[in-house]
Chains A and B, each alone.
Chain A
Amino acid sequence: EAGVVQSPRYKIIEKKQPVAFWCNPISGHNTLYWYRQNLGQGPELLIRYENEEAVDDSQLPKDRFSAERLKGVDSTLKIQPAELGDSAVYLCASSYGPEAFFGQGTRLTVV
């Protein structure tokens, strides 16, 4: 069974530029998460989807971050414009129960 697939693996952009991350969850998993992990810290939830509905986006900085999950499968997370403090690893995960399965993440560096 294929795991959670994320792309790109690495991204370097200048501040104020836009960036987008893509996630393909495990087939059959209705719940999809986007987490952000800063260096030396644990993952922090940005947004959680149940099928196509964003049911928890309280931690998403909505002035610059947006996300969508079309047809309840793939999802994209966008940052526009990026700031230096957005440098982190962005993790996508999916689940059908309490155990979430993570992708390899996208390491974003904003310079």
Chain B
Amino acid sequence: DQQVKQNSPSLSVQEGRISILNCDYTNSMFDYFLWYKKYPAEGPTFLISISSIKDKNEDGRFTVFLNKSAKHLSLHIVPSQPGDSAVYFCAASPMDSSYKLIFGSGTRLLVRP
């Protein structure tokens, strides 16, 4: 049973436009959500996170939105840059403070120059 789902395996966007990556979760016990970026042959790099007490968190070009009622979160990148081309993983952590991260399967983003 996949608790964190990223249903789009890939996304292609023109440079300068907005990239929107989506993530759905099924476990209502999750209360902290994170996005990681991964380049080939490297480990995942933490990008941005959001607590369940918020519905939006912004860091420069990256914004994460959380819709708890829909169990859905999204990552917006604007403007998109070619260097943003990578695999993006959504992860969720339960509210028991275990910091156990459950990852989605990832979305490969390609930003075309």
A→B interface (CB under 8 Å)? 4, 6, 31, 33, 40-45, 48, 55-56, 91, 93, 95, 97-105
Contacts and interface: CB of A to CB of B under 8 A. Distances in A.
A104 B41 contact: yes
Contact of B34 (A33, A41, A98, A105): A98
B59 interface: no
Contacts of B6: 42
B41 A43 contact: no
A62 B9 CA distance: 32
Contact of A42 (B32, B42, B100, B103): B103
A40 B107 CA distance: 10
A55 B98 contact: yes
Contacts, number: 58
B25 interface: no
Kindly name the residue among A33, A41, A56 whose own CB sees the greatest number of chain B CB atoms within 10 A: A41
Contact of A91 (B32, B43, B99, B104): B43
Interchain residue pairs A-B with the least CB separation, the first 7: A42-B103, A102-B43, A99-B46, A102-B44, A98-B32, A104-B43, A43-B103
Given A56-B98, A95-B99, A41 B43 contact: no
Interface string B87-112: 00101010000111111111000000
B43 A105 contact: yes
A55 B98 CA distance: 9
Interface in B32-61: 32, 34, 36, 41-46, 49
B105 A41 contact: yes
Given A97-B99, A102-B44, 20 more contacts: A4-B43, A42-B4, A42-B6, A42-B89, A42-B91, A42-B103, A42-B105, A43-B44, A43-B103, A44-B103, A45-B102, A48-B100, A55-B98, A91-B43, A95-B99, A98-B34, A99-B34, A100-B101, A105-B42, A105-B43
